[in-house]
Amino acid sequence: MRQGTVDGSAPWVATDGPARQVTVEGPALQVAVDNPARQVADEIRAAGGEAIAHGGDIATSAGAASLVAAALETYGRLDTLVNNAGFLRDRMLVNLDEDDWDAVVRVHLKGHFLPLKHAAAYWRAEAKAGRTPVARVVNTSSGAGLLGSLGQANYSAAKAGIVALTLVAAAELGRYGVQVNAIAPAARTRMTERTFAESMAAPEAGFDAMAPANVSPLAVWLGSAASEGVTGRVFEAEGGRITVMEGWRAGPSADKGARWTPEEAGEAALKLLGEAGVPGPVYGA
């Protein structure tokens, strides 16, 4: 996961969720971080930016709080939070263990909620002190969370929860200068490289549609001041395509003005379904 501050010099706090052991130090910070997080920070610095790596468990309140604190102690302010924690434990529903359900929901959904909560507390305090921030949050959902995906009930439910969290946060935090949006990316990552190794493999030549770098420009724009006025929206990003996703909204409706009988309700429902659009298919169906 990559979370942190973004401004003209693009400082970042890079973390990959629950830590694997490698130690780095920063101002008022000495934490264990894993190699991928350190590599991300190294790449940013090599490109001329500023970055530190953080190894706290962002699915705990203490870990999420320390992440926000690390950004503030290092850079003095927090402008943008990008939530991107996740991993897979795929099973068909009847074979899905409770532990695998809990683990995926914990990392994806709770791992978005807690950093958002602690960042929002900081931004609210800034706004109340008369320093209303220009703040941005980019959450990471998935097509599985929008349409569902066979063999991924836990992942789909968690990613759908992230969309709902995004909508609520956008409505609640706008008064403090905070915009909250979500992306549903399709790209080759450490999480997908085994499960979808063949379909997401890089081509020998030409445009690499599954390169993670294809998603980055949209995330950067949503995390910047240039996205002023855009909040509570969900974007799908894959290859060279960006799509604004349109979620649940009222469709065909019937009002009897009194209580329906089961038979009447069934007749009305079938009539309304005939007038409604057909939902997109579940992935893998």
Residues identified as active-site: 142, 155, 159
SS3 letters across 80-116? EEECCCCCCCCECHHHCCHHHHHHHHHHHHHHHHHHH
Closest CA to 21 of 2, 36, 10, 8: 36
- Lookup: tokens for 268: 């009305």
Sheet containing strand 80-82, strands side by side: 80-82, 135-140, 178-186, 234-238, 241-245
Burial of 247 (C-beta count, 10 Å sphere; 0-12/13-18/19+): exposed
Q: How many CB atoms lie within 10 A of CB 221?
A: 15
Helix, strand or coil, per DSSP, at residue 60: coil
Q: Which amino acid is at 120?
A: A
Residue with structure tokens 């403090």? 176
